[in-house]
Structures are given as C-alpha cells and as structure tokens.
Copies of this chain bind each other. A is one copy, B any other.
Amino acid sequence: MSSAAVEKQLAAFNALKTDLFHKDFLLTWEHSTDEIKAVLTLAEALKLLHQEGLSCRAFDSGLAISIFRDNSTRTRFSFAAAASALGFTLSDLDEEKSQIAHGETVRETANMISFLAEVIGIRDDMFLGEGNKYMREVGDALTEGKQQGVLHRRPSIVNLQCDIDHPTQSLADLAWLKKHFGGIENMRGKKLAMTWAYSPSYGKPLSVPQGVIGLMTRFGMEVSLAHPEGYGLIPEVIEVARKNATQSGGKFEVVNSMEQAFQGAHIVYPKSWAPYHVMQRRTELLKTSDKDGLKALEKECLANNARFSNWECDRAKMNLTHDRSALYMHCLPADITDVSCKAGEVSAEVFEQYRIPTYHEASYKPFVISALMFLTRLRDPGAKLEQIIRRAKGLSI
C-alpha cells in the first residue's frame, strides 16, 4: 500500500479534538471546526483505503437504519455503501409497510426499531419547519430510551437532508474543494458564488444552498449568495453564515444578480430552489391536502420562475469568473438546458465541461457518511483507524 498518504491523514486526524461519540450529526454549525476537519480527514483516509482495495471494516455487526421520507438515489446508495464498508447491516424503514399509520407515536417507533441499531440516517426535507424537528424528536426518544435502559446504546442520527441543512452534501462538497485546491487552508480568500438558477420545476428544498453558505463561510471564503428578489433562504441560516464569515475572516454577501456573484468567483454553485415563503405556503397546503391550492401555487410559482429564466449558468457568465475558469459545482442531478429540460440551471456546454468534476464531488459522499458513522460510533476513532491501517499493511493488530 502507498501508506504514506493514509498515514498523513491519520496524523492530521490525531491532532484534532472531537466529541461525537454516540452523538447526532444534524447541522454542521452545531459542530466545532475540529470536528468538521475530522470528518474531512477521516473521509479522505477511508477513500484512500478503498482506492487501494483495502478493507475499511470497523464493526462486526449492527444495524444502520435509513428513513427516507423523500426520493433519493445518491444519498441512499451513499448511506448503503458507507454502512456496508464499515460492517453495518442496512435496514430501511419503509413507512408504508410498517404499522406506523396506526397512529403510533414517533417516540415509540424510534425505540422499537433501535434495539440493535447503531446509526439512523434520516431524509425529511419536504416540509419547512418539519424535517429537522422530526429528527430531534427521534433523538429525544432515543435519549429517553437509553436513560430508561430500554436501549443498550443510543444510536446516532445522521441528517441525510432536512428542511434546514444537507450536511452530508455540503461536507462532500467541502471535501472535494479541499482536494481540488490542495488543502482546507487554501480555501481562505476564495470566492464562492452560491446562486439560484432557473428550473422548470418548483418546490426544490432550500437545504443545499443553506448547507453550503452555513459551512463554507467557516473557512475564510468569500461567499456570495445570489437570488432573484423573493427567493430568500431561512433568515436564521443567513445569520449563521454572516456570523461564520465574521469569525473566520471571510466574507458573506447577498446579491440579486447571478452576474454579480459570478464576478471573480473561484467556485460557482448555481442551483434552483423554491422561495422560503412559497415553501411555507406549500407546507400549509400539503398539511390540509389542498390539491387545488397546490395547483394554483405551482402555476403561480412557475410563472414567477419564468421571469428569471435568464438565471442560467452559461459560457458568458462563466467568463465573468476568476480566470474565466471557476470550478462549477452541483449536488446533482442538474437541470441541464436541452438535455433534461428545454431551459434549466446550466447550459449543456458548461455542464459537459464540468461533468466529471461534479462526479468527483459526489464521490466524497459515501466516505463522508462513513466518517460520520465512524466518529459517532467509536469511542476512540483514531485508535481504530490506526488498527485498520496496520491490518491493511499486514501488521499485527
């Protein structure tokens, strides 16, 4: 094994202080910078081991449960792959096939599925004000279950996208940026344009842009958030981003022009989302199953979106960026003009140029999730990583 690279990650990891054992991971800004760096470092170490064909197995058994309240391909497979790589068995809670409809409480279900669970990954991003709250409700139930001796161990919840944050996405994004720019310290002073982009659909969650501005502002970057008027994000997350930028010596601004955000940017992240207040109205309509209201809202929103169809990431706008060659990012799948729709977030030419880099970006997600499992389920993750490396080198452990 080319063990130098992985041992470098081990050394970097051992210099960091983390306190994630048996904790949850719900919002990146609830965790220290050391913990964020530990996730990135560990993800990189596990990726290197996998690249060499070496086993990352750290557990003999245990359930990793997934609860997907919305569709998913890459996060679903990333979670499955992460569980498998570490030795956990995946068990998906399909709420339609369960007895949950019978009026069972979250408190009860959370305990019932967790007797042998180690990790619970949850995606719940449909309703503003609901997803993150649901995760905390599950968490409280697990804490009570552990306190009462019902659960031998308290499983850790990993947020696989909620209404507020999408931490496994933003951490994978950051891991990719760290790799691309040769180190987290090189992010300082880099301008990132997190901008709204046109899409012929509506109702996309806010969690990706919120996750990005909430995380990237911590590392001295200049984050420019751009969107048409009326497409604002949750105010609390804007505050988080502002505070982060101040503390890290970076910058954070909100502008109403894609061009302005792209100006001199080193990184662009053009991505559609629904306006905050639309998501609020939509949540109310969904709660009351008001189909006519939902149709009317969709029509109104698509008409409003259409006013901003020029918010497309095309060659002309890319030419405004630093050296005319900013790194394009996307959480995928993107709405690509003339490929997946008539007019979308990005021109076919720009997307094709950066297609492979977006795949690299995505490739970090399973390892980020592995790292989160590793950090939350091991009392001494550094010792276990060292053990895995020794095993890989054929040394006695």
Please list the residues of chain A having a beta carbon within 8 angstroms of any beta carbon in chain B: 50-51, 53, 55-57, 60-63, 65, 68, 71-74, 76-78, 80-81, 83-85, 87, 89-91, 93, 97-105, 108-109, 111-113, 115-117, 145, 148-153, 332-333, 335, 339-341, 356, 359-360, 362-363, 365-366
Known: A73-B109, A115-B365. 7 other contacts (CB 8 A): A71-B99, A72-B97, A74-B112, A83-B89, A103-B340, A112-B359, A150-B360
CB-CB under 8 A from A108, the residues of chain B are 332-333, 359
Which residues of chain B have C-beta atoms less than 8 A from A113's C-beta?
73-74, 77
- With a CB–CB cut-off of 8 A, which chain B residues contact A153? 53
- Bound together, the chains give a CA A360 to CA B146 distance in angstroms of 11
- Identical copies of this chain, number: 3
- A117 (CB) vs chain B CBs: closest residue: B81
Looking at the assembled complex, report how far the CB atom of A302 sits from the nearest CB atom of chain B, in whole angstroms.
Answer: 16
Q: Given A60-B55, A60-B57, A116-B84, A340–B152 Cβ distance below 8 Å?
A: no
A102 CB to nearest chain B CB (Å): 5
A50 to B153, CA, bound (A): 9
Which listed residue, B72, B87, B102, B148, touches A333 by the CB 8 Å rule? Answer: B102
Residues of B close to A61: CB separation below 8 A: 55-57, 84-85, 87
Q: Select A115's contact among B91, B103, B366, beta carbons within 8 Å.
A: B366
Interchain nearest-CB distance for A372 vs B (Å): 15
Tell me, in angstroms, the Cα distance from A161 to B360 when the chains sit together: 31
A150-B359 in contact given A61-B55, A84-B61 (Cβ < 8 Å): yes
Chain B residues whose C-beta falls within 8 Å of the C-beta of A73 in the assembled complex: 93, 98-100, 104, 109, 112-113
A80 / chain B contacts, CB cutoff of 8 Å: 63, 89, 91
Determine whether the beta carbon of B116 is less than 8 Å from that of A366. yes
C-alpha gap A356/B115 in the complex (Å):
13
A363 to B103, CA, bound (A): 20
20 contacts between A and B (CB under 8 A): A53-B152, A61-B84, A71-B97, A71-B101, A72-B97, A72-B99, A73-B93, A73-B113, A74-B112, A74-B113, A77-B115, A84-B116, A103-B340, A103-B341, A104-B332, A108-B333, A112-B359, A112-B362, A150-B359, A150-B360
B residues near A100, Cβ cutoff 8 Å: 73
A86 to B87, CA, bound (A): 13
> A103-B340, A335-B103 given as contacts; is B115 within 8 A of A81 (CB)?
yes
| In contact, B333 and A99 (Cβ under 8 angstroms) | yes
